[in-house]
A and B are shown apart, each in its own frame.
Chain A
Amino acid sequence: MTDTVERKSLTREDLLDVYRTMRTIREFEERVHAEFATGDIPGFVHLYAGEEASAAGVCSNLDDRDTIASTHRGHGHCIARGVDVAEMMAEIYGRRTGSCHGKGGSMHIADLSKGMLGANGIVGGGPPLICGTALAAKIKGTGGVSVAFFGDGGSNQGTTLESLNLASVWNLPAVFVAENNGYAETTSSTWSVASDNIADRAAGFGMPGVIVDGFDFFAAHEAAREAIARAREGGGPTLIEMKFTRYFGHFEGDQQTYRAGEVSHARAELDCLKRFADRVTETGELSRADLDAVDAEVAALIEAAVEAAKAAPLPTEADLLTDVYVRY
Chain B
Amino acid sequence: MARNITYREAINEALVQEMERDETVIVMGEDNAGGAGAPGEDDAWGGVLGVTKGLYHKFPGRVLDTPISESAFIGAAVGAATAGLRPVAELMFVDFMGVCFDQIYNQAAKFRYMFGGKAVTPVVIRTMYGAGLRAAAQHSQCLYPLFTHIPGLKVVLPATPYDAKGLLTQAIRDNDPVIFFEHKALYDMSGPVPEESYALPFGEANVVREGADVTIVTLGRMVHTSLSAAAELAASDGVQCEVIDLRTTSPLDADTVLESVEATGRLVVVDEAHPRCSIATDISALVAQRAFGALRAPIEMVTAPHTPVPFSTALEDIFIPDAQRIANAVKTVTGWNP
Contact = CB atoms under 8 A, between A and B. Distances in A.
Q: Do chains A and B touch in the complex (CB under 8 A)?
A: yes
B74 to A, nearest CB: 11
A317 B138 CA distance: 21
Interface string B52-94: 0000000000000101111110000000000000000000000
Interface of B: 30-31, 34-41, 44-45, 48, 65, 67-72, 95-96, 98-99, 133-139, 305-308, 310-315, 318-319
B313 A317 contact: no
Contact of B30 (A159, A185, A262): A185
Contact of A319 (B65, B96, B139, B315): B315
Given A100-B311, A259-B40, A324-B308, 7 more contacts: A43-B135, A104-B137, A124-B68, A158-B69, A191-B36, A315-B310, A320-B310
Contacts of B39: 188, 258-260, 262
Contacts of A91: 311
16 contacts: A42-B312, A43-B133, A94-B315, A95-B312, A124-B68, A158-B72, A184-B67, A186-B34, A189-B37, A191-B38, A256-B40, A258-B39, A259-B40, A314-B315, A320-B318, A320-B319
A157 B38 contact: no
A186 B36 contact: yes
A94 B311 contact: yes
Task: Determine which residue in B44, B307, B314 has the highest number of CB atoms from chain A within 10 A of its CB, and name it.
Answer: B314
Contact of B138 (A108, A153, A259, A314): A108
B35 A258 contact: yes
B292 to A, nearest CB: 31
Contacts of B306: 324
A156 B67 contact: yes
Contact of B45 (A94, A123, A184, A185): A185
Interface of A: 42-44, 91, 94-96, 98, 100, 102-108, 120-124, 153-154, 156-159, 183-193, 256-260, 262, 314-317, 319-321, 324
A42 B134 CA distance: 6
Question: Which label, helix, strand, loop or mixed, suits the secondary structure of the B interface?
Answer: loop
Contact of B311 (A42, A192, A256): A42
A38 to B, nearest CB: 15
A107 B30 CA distance: 19
Contact of A102 (B72, B135, B305, B311): B311
A320 B319 CA distance: 7
Contact of A44 (B40, B135, B137): B135
A316 B312 CA distance: 10
Contacts of B31: 185-187
Nearest to A186: B34
Nearest to B319: A320
A262 B38 CA distance: 11
Question: Which label, helix, strand, loop or mixed, suits the secondary structure of the A interface?
Answer: loop
B140 to A, nearest CB: 9
A100 B30 CA distance: 30
Contacts of B308: 103, 324
Nearest to A95: B312
Contact of A107 (B41, B136, B305, B318): B136
Contacts of B307: 320-321, 324
A142 to B, nearest CB: 29
A96 to B, nearest CB: 8
Given A105-B311, A157-B68, A184-B67, A122 B36 contact: no
Nearest to B35: A258
B311 A158 contact: no
A223 to B, nearest CB: 25
A188 B305 CA distance: 40
Given A105-B134, A321-B305, A187 B312 contact: no
B134 A188 contact: no
Contacts of B71: 158
Contact of B312 (A123, A188, A314): A314
Nearest to B133: A43
A259 B38 contact: yes
